[in-house]
Amino acid sequence: MKDKVVIITGASSGIGLATARYFGDRGSRLVLAARSEDKLKKIEKQFKQDGIQVLSIPTDVRIESDCKNLIDKTIEHYGRIDILINNAGVSMRALFGDLLLDVFHTVMDTNFWGTVYCTKFALPYLLETKGTVTGVSSVAGLQGLPGRTAYSASKFALHGFLETLRMEYRSYGLHVFIIAPGFTSSNIRMAALTANGKPQNSSPRTEGKMMPADQVAKHLYCGIKKRRRMIVLTSTGKIVFLLRKISPRLMDRLTLYFMSREPGSPFEG
């Protein structure tokens, strides 16, 4: 993985930042994308002080032209792309009936369309290097989560897109990898959108009991290196993956019960 050119979206915090550090410490050449230019510049400065080759590009993945600019600037700087990690994401928490459709659009535009845009523009260069497209998914892409309709819809769409892409370009040597973490300690729940589109600014879960972002980064790195198809993380995620195949109705009941026990849950199980 040394000297591989790696683009990471949503790289200013959480799994994205941990992944950037993990790859950078192992000699990869990084391109960090996120909306906050200030955060990116601070990260870029620190990484360069640590001897990591890095380029930061402010990018809103909801905007097609921003995604094209991200790829163009990467090629201009490094001349190639080996790995694209589509990590940028936003969550939400509300009953569908209470949810503004603008919130649904925001989640889909970020989690799904952001992946489509970045992958579309990076694809010709990834085919040249027989590189990797990665989608950072979730257990919400395996089992619908009550109170998170838009988030689950975006992750199910992500799976469909990437699995089809894998088949279309199998003979070209393109590697497509999906990683589905369970609940991970990050800021995604703090930034999750409520019914009216405002961040909830608090987590309904005990963050310290979840898988740390740096462990997710390690699994992501190894999955790409070994050219895996998909990895499901955490014991909860693996149980969901298996039980959904064995008994979907039971999985639905258990999911509803589990999610309804969140503090401040928008529904009752």
Catalytic residues: 151
Q: What are phi and psi of 59, to 5 degrees?
A: -145, 130
CA distances from 135 to 102, 104, 118, 200, 268 (A): 24, 20, 11, 25, 32
| d(C-alpha 160, C-alpha 141), whole Å | 10
CA distances from 229 to 122, 167, 210, 220, 255 (A): 19, 11, 24, 11, 26
| d(C-alpha 167, C-alpha 159), whole Å | 12
